[in-house]
Structure 1
């Protein structure tokens, strides 16, 4: 396992550009299976999870060519469906949660889609019911091998249907939309996810010849078509990385510019950080964070009660940034209650922050109260292990703000979601070293 060695307590300075969006990439890459024609995708992040999916698509028979850094062409004109039932696929598919989104496109175009129970972050239960209930509504037959933990759906021809999703699952909505675009008739998906990355998928599918309306709302209407054509697509910048860099600037009292952030797709993210007292300035399509040498103060609600920051489906605040919010609050003036509603194991990393000197009360698996130090007491360096992608980056930010030398083990978790993070941080002055 790899390790980061971090010498904290240094101010950073300069500009940093966010990578392409990980969560968008996992959807968009699966959509190439919907057409035999050439699809070109740009701004693909060079990270472990995305590279695993590209490898899986290549083994499935997709012709893939890298044309520049972050740019690839994909052609799915000779798919090997036998691979789906091979022992190799049962191993490959488990290594990545995003692999679940190949099921909808394969079912729509080839009449069958299989997937082993996928892996991913250990952050609690992440049900697949929404995916398969939606596909069953379109006419698919579902089967599941409990012994092998292997899922399958099959259909001679999908037919449009009305459905009200039990939860506004982003990946579930993506899977259902990708199946519905080639189904016969009209599909109405109510309580659909509407986050920017799902909007990007719908816009790409429409350019390929799909007929999807209601994009950006929680009701999508899909009129099925016979076939889709090729297209070009460019990923949005990763909003989770953008939030991470805002938190990093505040915690290290650094002056940073985050470039090309696609402001209009950030939703409430800048305002949530402003509630923590962080200055987030818009300069064109960049975010400018001045050095917070005098610290930052958490706001209260209008009635004077403690600020609560919680996650919610888009356009609410993304759960992937709550770990960053929690870390940033450890050095603020004031207190905040962080309420993680979606995943019951995502706050368990706070014990590592407590070891570093943070004042955090873990109320239950979903809620933590943070009492800020106001820099009167800095975090102290320590040795820790990254439990998942977002907690790993939060611990990295804590280490960069702490005095002394910290080590973070199991950094493969961080590499799953952040491209060359050590190189990019060194470019703005961070003292970080990768040890294999």
Structure 2
């Protein structure tokens, strides 16, 4: 809490306590220029004792106190005796009467202009109505069309790129035929099991017909076909009619390859789900580029009219997609795949909702440009100029209330709006002053 200090007003003589600050107002007369601080005196305390230190020490002695009382009585007696003798003297009485009468006569003859004026009694100078009206004579012109100022040009020149969540890359590079053959050989060495030549030929045939076809389709952008080919590549031929032996030997040796293929299928499922959203994101990005081209060509009105659609489409995309989505169903060949592998395929068919593009930066950029375009489009400028001119017409007609209302409607451009706001403040002051003293001026 701020420390309170003791102040007094030279204007009305009022004393009060107040926290120390640059401007303090008297609570009685509301003056601020006549406030003085009592040096060294805090709120609630008495002024400091200024009696000499030599006397302070003697206050503690009863003999000294008695001596002072006796001395005072003696001096009072001498003063009264002298006064009695003087008053009894006729010459003194006549002198006193003449002096008093002269002073009273001079006071009656003194004019008000000769009376001394205290510093606190002088009122603070206030601007005259003519001074305020002189500030309304200047008129700021608004050129239509206008060019953007440097700050506005910087905002309009800025471009943002749409940050999409799309990832069309596979989690790992596809196998080549040589890679696949080397993989089979390494697994035979690791498990110390030699697969029959005929079985390896069947695996290689399946790889060339399905796996390599999937790779070619992916590179061609045929994502659904690529996924279906990779699904088909998991329909391994039976190593043995005994399911346990088939699982324990062939599927065990192919497990790493199977997992890698499943990861590719899962990635494609997600990409397929994303495609419908990415297409709309692409359209949104293209619409933004076309919009900025309109701005670059100074086509302010067209750019302004396209803003609502841009913002609406961005908001619509932000609300998608649903929590869970699924890619297109697998081909019938899934029934020929080992049940455990088929179950894994079904698990990755339903994917988590795809990541959405981040539209926030683009939306902020559109809103920033919208504020600039508002101050550039001719139709909007004409409206603002009309408000300003209506305000000036109201000033000439001394309709202060309407002038303030019209000036208050001006919102852009920045300098134009600032001048209108200044004039609105002036006419409000004029309206207040005329309400106190009555209209005394005219507008040229």
Q: TM-score with structure 1 length normalisation?
A: 0.18
Identify the structure with bigger relative contact order (alpha carbons < 8 Å, sequence gap 6+): 1
* Greater share of residues in helix: 2
**Structure with max Cα Rg:** 2
